[in-house]
Structure 1
């Protein structure tokens, strides 16, 4: 067993050992099955889906496309964990790409929170444009709001599985950027928080030519879960989770060392 095969086996083992989360009060945390990325490469997005600009205008998803690829991120402004990191890392990546936002491709963020206000959304859009060094008039990185039905349609088309946790009042979601062709098809998916500028350049070039990437043989998405134990057993829960994590990591380390030792055995 080598390279990716060994990694895949180790991650699969970890998922079997830790299939879900639990809260201190005994109520169920969202299952990891509810959140993730499904490969929907080549799917066409619902271009008639209704969106709202930060200026309050109602537009369709079709208006996002300006005869060049679009890098789409689903996030929301009040996300307590991943969203700000995803957006910040994308800002940093745009400074290093040969392809330029507003010229070779556009960026768009659609909030997955249907209750997000225009004021908050406008503040996020302004910060993104400013941090990326993009003129406000360029429209190179726009931020949109939408009703839940439209959000679900877009998310389903690109394979973005997310769920609302009523206990923590937050959205659990994966971290990814979706590269779309100029006619609104999903060309490739960039998983994780950080993307190399060269990776973005390559994905944009492929999308500009209308090409659809091959699905990866193995992939794992970074997932945002809000886990906030409370109550008199909160401390025990935290230490229990830490202990479980240490046990899983220890088991994986032992397995790796065992496999390596087996390889060296004549």
Structure 2
């Protein structure tokens, strides 16, 4: 192998190093999302909806894709802003819930009840300007074991801390047969909450409808922002960004020197 080729692979390795530890949304608190694109979640798992009715997950996966997120209804931090933004993007999107897709949120807290889920559902659905069928957005609760099955299948890792949870977040898009098609990482600002682009949302639903598997392109958010369990929010991680920038600069300098040497 030529010398410049060796240097090229060295530089390439250096450039991707800072992203490797965070490629699946990893942060210093060990809370991450380990993407399981192309894999299927178990659909034979039972949960309880906001009406107190026990359902099998496969009943929600029949003729349309599912937009899915882990939350908990008494979350003091990022869960309500996420659901609020989902309601907002539903208002803006030309696609219709209940017709083009179904939304499902699942509480990670096994102690939450259908009554709590019903109260949160009423709060969130009141934010939607469109007239939608109640079953087009399901608010589920369930046992610890069943919640864990879906969390493991989707690669969603969280940790209880007292009465609350340390967790990150993502909106997941699944095909009608339960295959993970895409993970969408909404932008977050403490002052204004989450932001989901209607265009990105629409494309994700369309891809899930077609059964396409789409790699995440918003992973820089997970790299630049870490979840702060004290503030229950995301914070800009300047050390990670500065470190990556330094390594990137060094890599580019090496590449330039190699090319100059070749030209002389």
User: What TM-score results when the alignment is normalised by the length of structure 1?
Assistant: 0.73
Q: Deviations over 1:33-88 (max 9, x none)?
A: 2x111120111111111100111111111122241011001101111111111111
RMSD (Å), alpha carbons: 3.6
Q: Deviations over 1:166-213 (max 9, x none)?
A: 3xx211111100001011111110013422110011111111111222
User: What secondary structure, in the 3-state scheme, does the structure 1 residue paired with 2:75 have?
Assistant: coil
Equivalence map 1:1-266=2 (5 Å) = 20=28, 32-33=29-30, 35-135=31-131, 137-166=133-162, 169-192=163-186, 193-214=194-215, 216=217, 218-221=219-222, 224-227=227-230, 248=239, 255=246
Is the alpha carbon distance of 1:224 and 1:109 closer, same or farther for their aligned partners in structure 2, counting shifts above 3 Å?
farther
Inter-partner Cα distance in structure 2 for 1:74 and 1:95? 21
* Conserved 8 A contact 2:181-2:214: yes
* Conserved 8 A contact 2:105-2:138: yes
**Which shifted more, 218-227 or 117-126?**
218-227
Inter-partner Cα distance in structure 1 for 2:214 and 2:106? 23
User: What secondary structure, in the 3-state scheme, does the structure 2 residue paired with 1:71 have?
Assistant: strand
* Conserved 8 A contact 2:69-2:171: yes
Is the alpha carbon distance of 1:78 and 1:213 closer, same or farther for their aligned partners in structure 2, counting shifts above 3 Å?
same
* Conserved 8 A contact 1:129-1:135: no
Inter-partner Cα distance in structure 1 for 2:138 and 2:241? 45
Is the alpha carbon distance of 1:83 and 1:6 closer, same or farther for their aligned partners in structure 2, counting shifts above 3 Å?
farther
**Which shifted more, 142-151 or 184-193?**
184-193
**Which shifted more, 96-105 or 249-258?**
249-258
Q: Deviations over 1:114-147 (max 9, x none)?
A: 0112222101111222212354644111100010
Q: Where does residue 7 of structure 2 map in the other structure?
A: none
Structure 1, gaps ≥5 residues long: 21-31, 229-241
Q: Deviations over 1:203-239 (max 9, x none)?
A: 11111111222355955536654327xxxxxxxxxxx
Q: Where does residue 8 of structure 2 map in the other structure?
A: none
User: What secondary structure, in the 3-state scheme, does the structure 1 residue paired with 2:169 have?
Assistant: strand
User: What secondary structure, in the 3-state scheme, does the structure 1 residue paired with 2:170 have?
Assistant: strand
Work out the number of aligned pairs and report it.
232
> How many Å apart are 1:158 and its aligned residue?
1.0
* Conserved 8 A contact 2:46-2:54: yes
Is the alpha carbon distance of 1:13 and 1:153 closer, same or farther for their aligned partners in structure 2, counting shifts above 3 Å?
closer
User: What secondary structure, in the 3-state scheme, does the structure 2 residue paired with 1:131 have?
Assistant: coil
Inter-partner Cα distance in structure 2 for 1:7 and 1:83? 34
Is the alpha carbon distance of 1:254 and 1:81 closer, same or farther for their aligned partners in structure 2, counting shifts above 3 Å?
same
